[in-house]
Amino acid sequence: MKKIIITGALGQIGTELVVKCRQLYGTENVLATDINEPEADSEVAQGPFQVLDVTDKDKMFKTVEEFGADTIMHMAALLSAVAEKRPMFAWELNMGGLMNALEAAREYNLQFFTPSSIGAFGSSTPKVNTPQVTIQRPSTMYGVNKVAGELLCQYYFEKFGVDTRSVRFPGLISYVKEPGGGTTDYAVEIYFEAVRKGEYKSFIDKGTYMDMMFMDDAIDAIIKLMEADGGKLIHRNAYNLSGMSIEPEMVKNAIQEYYPDFKLSYDVDPDRQSIADTWPDNIDVSCARAEWGFDPQYDLDKMTKTMLEAIENKEGVK
Ligand code: AKB
């Protein structure tokens, strides 16, 4: 990776991925793109940036050509809950954008990364220790998009020799940028509300286990996978990844170590709960560990300490 284009650069992952890639590969070698303009004082705006609607194929091709890219990291997509509210738009953006990015990779010989998700699984998938290769029959538009995306990554690798790499991200937890429209978002909101208000009302019910991962581990995983020896990668659709399997009461207990008066209550959102109920409790990450050295550093306690301290700093609390 020497000249990298990142789409969806103002999203939850993109925001931190741009910064990390610029540290590693040089600011001038990482072009951040998004459908929106960044805030002038944001980190993303401190290097090359271009407005790009990923459904505009001509503009994407032109951007890749003019920048002289050798890598594309395609992050632009709608998350699960919002995709379920606007399924046709989700198809247009998630699939249209992905096809354009894959075609750009084929045409300009780019190394390619895009994230899949635990949303690529469904209620007929084994829920515990979900294997790398298993039943994938999701019941959401987001899940349909992710399964199709995984298959397309494999197809472009086998048919056209594009160096496609992908992972199934769990819920990603970060203090830099709050996510929007995901089923796992409660696990980010809970930390912000703990610091701001000392209480949180969860839209996901107690006892609902889902995989999560701290953002630093997610960014490291992307870099590690992209730098890995391609000859050792057996799976070209997407690798299972997770840092922990948690449910809301576990997060409450971890927060109470620092905020003993923190209160958690529930106002379950049936739409997002019904999505969560079809996702695994915990997935098996052994293929990612074995094939390219996936090695997450954050468990729930370490993540909780880091999240609370960083949010306190950000909000000027304590
Ligand atoms: C979502 O909840 O939609 C995402 C995901 C797990 O893909 N965070």
Q: Is 268 exposed, middle or buried (0-12, 13-18, 19+ CB in 10 A)?
A: middle
Residues of the chain with pLDDT > 90, as a percent, come to: 97
- Residue reference for tokens 């194929």: 57
Residue nearest to atom 8 of ligand 1 (CA): 171
DSSP structural state of residue 282 = E
Q: Best of 78, 80, 202, 282 to mutate for ligand 1, by most ligand atoms within 8 A of CB?
A: 80
**Distance between Cα 167 and ligand 1 center (Å):** 13
Quote the pLDDT of residue 178: 84
Alpha-carbon distances of 194 from 78, 175, 212, 247, 305, rounded to whole Å: 27, 13, 18, 16, 12
Residue 277 has, within 13 A of its CA and on its CB side, a CA count of 10
Rounded (10°) angle between helices 186-196 and 300-315: 50
Of 114, 99, 25, which is closest to residue 61 (Cα–Cα)? 99
Pairwise CA distance, residues 312 & 265, whole Å? 22
**Ligand 1 atom nearest to 81, measured from its CA:** 3
Of residues 105 and 2, more confidence is placed in: 105
Q: Which domains does the chain have, with CATH numbers?
A: 4-169 (3.40.50.720), 172-212+242-315 (3.40.50.720)
Rounded to the nearest integer, the mean pLDDT of the chain is 97
**Distance between Cα 147 and ligand 1 center (Å):** 14
**Ligand 1 atom nearest to 181, measured from its CA:** 3
Residues carrying an active site annotation: 142
Specify the pTM: 0.97
Q: What is the pLDDT of residues 217-250, one digit of tens each?
A: 999 999 999 999 999 999 999 999 999 999 999 9
Once rounded to an integer, what is the mean pLDDT over residues 143-155? Answer: 98
Quote the pLDDT of residue 317: 84
Q: What is the pLDDT of residues 160-173, one digit of tens each?
A: 999 999 999 999 99
Once rounded to an integer, what is the mean pLDDT over residues 195-207? Answer: 98
Q: What is the pLDDT of residues 80-124, one digit of tens each?
A: 999 999 999 999 999 999 999 999 999 999 999 999 999 999 999
Q: What is the pLDDT of residues 259-294, one digit of tens each?
A: 999 999 999 999 999 999 999 999 999 999 999 999
**Distance between Cα 80 and ligand 1 center (Å):** 6
Q: How confident is the model at residue 1 (pLDDT cuts 50, 70, 90)?
A: low
Of 17, 19, 151, 36, which is closest to residue 74 (Cα–Cα)? 17
Pairwise CA distance, residues 131 & 282, whole Å? 10
Q: Best of 117, 167, 189, 203 to mutate for ligand 1, by most ligand atoms within 8 A of CB?
A: 117
Q: Assess contact for 257 and 175: CB atoms under 8 A.
A: no
* Ligand 1 neighbours by CB, cut-off 6 Å: 79-80, 117-119, 169-171, 182-184
Alpha helices in the chain (DSSP H): 12-25, 57-67, 80-85, 87-90, 96-108, 141-160, 186-196, 215-227, 248-256, 270-276, 286-292, 300-315
Once rounded to an integer, what is the mean pLDDT over residues 203-218? Answer: 98
Q: Is the pLDDT of residue 179 over 90?
A: no
Strand partners, 210: 246
Q: Is the pLDDT of residue 14 over 70?
A: yes
Residue nearest to atom 4 of ligand 1 (CA): 182
**Ligand 1 atom nearest to 210, measured from its CA:** 6
